[in-house]
Amino acid sequence: MPASLLDEPELETEAKQATWTLNFGPQHPATHTTLRLILELDGERIVKATPDIGYLHSGFEKLGEHLNFNQYVTVADRKNYISPPMNEVAWHHTVEKLMGIELTPRCQYIRVIIGELSRISDHLLCTGAAALDLGAFTAFLYAFNLREQIYDIYEEMSGYRFHPGYTRVGGVLYDFNDRVLGRIRTFMDNFQAVYSDMSKLLFRNRIFLDRMRGVGVLSKADAIAYSCTGPVARGSGVTFDIRKDAPYLAYPELDFEVPYCTEGDCWARFMVRMEEMQQSHHILEQALAKLPGGPVNLPIADKLNLPDKLTTYNSMEGLIQHFELVMPNRGFETPVDEVYAAIESPNGELGYYLIADGSEFGWRVRTRPPSFIHFSVFPHLIKGYMLADVVAILGSLSIIAAELDR
């Protein structure tokens, strides 16, 4: 294993060789997105890694100052394109906190459901792709096939497959109908079979274990010092989870556990993600069983949320309310104040620092992206390991390029 190779004396006592530089990515098959790493190598050992971001130039935060709170959900979607509904939930969670809106019980459960579905979707891709990068192609195919069923759910509930744009201020676009619930149940029935297939392929796979164990070790103190959150921190023994420790939506009413490991290596982060999928499945089961009836949006009388299409076209109040929110120079009024709110996204703390100036446009929409923070830890994790370990460590951090360069 590489960690022990480092201690071998002949490597250390070798005459100081000239190091060479390797550009790893962008668009390397194993970086998945547009990441670029400038690696300084001594043979195959990494002396120094300099991550270079800023390849997409998306300007999401500037756009947030020019799109209103309902429109911006389409941009929030695209920040983490692996689990879009979670970003929507985070964004409107912040807006609703700014406005002081209490959601209806049904809406809270629906947001929990789409959030946990996207957590499973994100972890499936992350664990599957980690396996793919280390040579286990079949596990990736199983995971990706299951993800397709989650996309089917998105398509059924909103009409869009990849970027649903499903939440609205004070509610969601459409209520769940029976077909959506049926698709969620089908997905949940298939989940356990795929999970057990993946675990049979990976958990005792000698090559996979050797490539992951003892690689990229992050201690608990370092995880906290480097602001890590989510599975990366929980793989190092930090048990903090916003769903448990600062609960939001319907999470206090649901029973689940926060899995963690103490080793802090790639394997620990992988196992935390695998176990979190099981917990999300458990949450989904309860949320479906407890899903309350009643309205999903706030009443029109509150003058906050966009009425659904049926109300807009069939009632005068709905039409007026739609007009009031959509026409320029109208819309609702917000407090002249600022608020920070965060949720537990698949990768960790996903927060928004939202400054409002009284209009329905954000004055400043700062995103706290988990991938950005985790990518900054990468140079410290990779130092001293081998070139082949870059792929293992990158995969275990789950870095999303659109979150790096907002």
Partner 1 sequence: MSTATSNFVDPHAETLKTLSSVFGEGVFSQSRFRDNLRLFVPPSRLIELLTALKTRCGFGLLAELGGADYLGYPGRTRSRFEVHYVLRNLETAEMIVVKAGVDDPDPTLPSAVPLWPGADWMEREVFDMFGVRFAGHPDLRRILMPDEFVAYPLRKDYPLRGRGERHNFPKLTRGES
Contact footprint for partner 1 (CB under 8 A)? 53-54, 57, 59, 61-63, 66, 97-98, 100, 224-229, 238, 240, 245-246, 335-340, 342, 349, 351, 353, 355, 357-358, 363-364, 366, 368, 372-373, 375-377, 405-406
The torsion angles phi and psi of 390, rounded to 5 degrees, stand at -55, -45
**Three-state secondary-structure class, residue 41:** strand
We find the least distance from the C-beta atom of residue 381 to partner 1, in angstroms, to be 13
Whole-angstrom distance, CA of residue 383 vs CA of residue 364: 37
Q: The tokens of 63 are what?
A: 């756009």
> Nearer to partner 1 by C-beta: 35 or 150?
35
> Nearer to partner 1 by C-beta: 140 or 375?
375
Amino acid identity, position 198: M
Whole-angstrom distance, CA of residue 294 vs CA of residue 269: 40
> Nearer to partner 1 by C-beta: 129 or 373?
373
> Nearer to partner 1 by C-beta: 201 or 355?
355
> Nearer to partner 1 by C-beta: 152 or 405?
405
> Nearer to partner 1 by C-beta: 158 or 371?
371
The torsion angles phi and psi of 288, rounded to 5 degrees, stand at -70, -40
Whole-angstrom distance, CA of residue 121 vs CA of residue 129: 12
Question: 389-397 vs 105-133: helix axis angle to the nearest 10?
Answer: 180
Whole-angstrom distance, CA of residue 129 vs CA of residue 123: 10
| Helix boundaries (H) for 40-177 | 60-63, 73-77, 84-99, 105-133, 137-158
We find the least distance from the C-beta atom of residue 239 to partner 1, in angstroms, to be 8
Q: The tokens of 203 are what?
A: 């958990």
> Nearer to partner 1 by C-beta: 61 or 253?
61
> Nearer to partner 1 by C-beta: 127 or 229?
229
We find the least distance from the C-beta atom of residue 225 to partner 1, in angstroms, to be 5
We find the least distance from the C-beta atom of residue 377 to partner 1, in angstroms, to be 8
Whole-angstrom distance, CA of residue 366 vs CA of residue 106: 29
Alpha carbon dihedral 228, 231, 234, 239, in 10-degree steps, equals: 90
> Nearer to partner 1 by C-beta: 53 or 113?
53
We find the least distance from the C-beta atom of residue 331 to partner 1, in angstroms, to be 16
We find the least distance from the C-beta atom of residue 335 to partner 1, in angstroms, to be 8
Asked if residue 143 lies in contact with residue 128, where contact means CB atoms within 8 angstroms, the answer is yes
The torsion angles phi and psi of 351, rounded to 5 degrees, stand at -120, 160
We find the least distance from the C-beta atom of residue 43 to partner 1, in angstroms, to be 26
> Nearer to partner 1 by C-beta: 205 or 227?
227
We find the least distance from the C-beta atom of residue 271 to partner 1, in angstroms, to be 21
Chain centre to alpha carbon of residue 151: 15
Whole-angstrom distance, CA of residue 176 vs CA of residue 183: 11
> Nearer to partner 1 by C-beta: 242 or 300?
242
Asked if residue 244 lies in contact with residue 260, where contact means CB atoms within 8 angstroms, the answer is no
Residue in 230, 233, 234 with CA at minimum distance from that of residue 242: 230
We find the least distance from the C-beta atom of residue 310 to partner 1, in angstroms, to be 33
We find the least distance from the C-beta atom of residue 332 to partner 1, in angstroms, to be 16
Give the H/E segment covering residue 189.
helix 178-202
Asked if residue 373 lies in contact with residue 228, where contact means CB atoms within 8 angstroms, the answer is yes
We find the least distance from the C-beta atom of residue 136 to partner 1, in angstroms, to be 32
CB proximity list for 143: less than 8 A, separation 6 or greater? 124, 125, 127, 128, 131, 194, 198
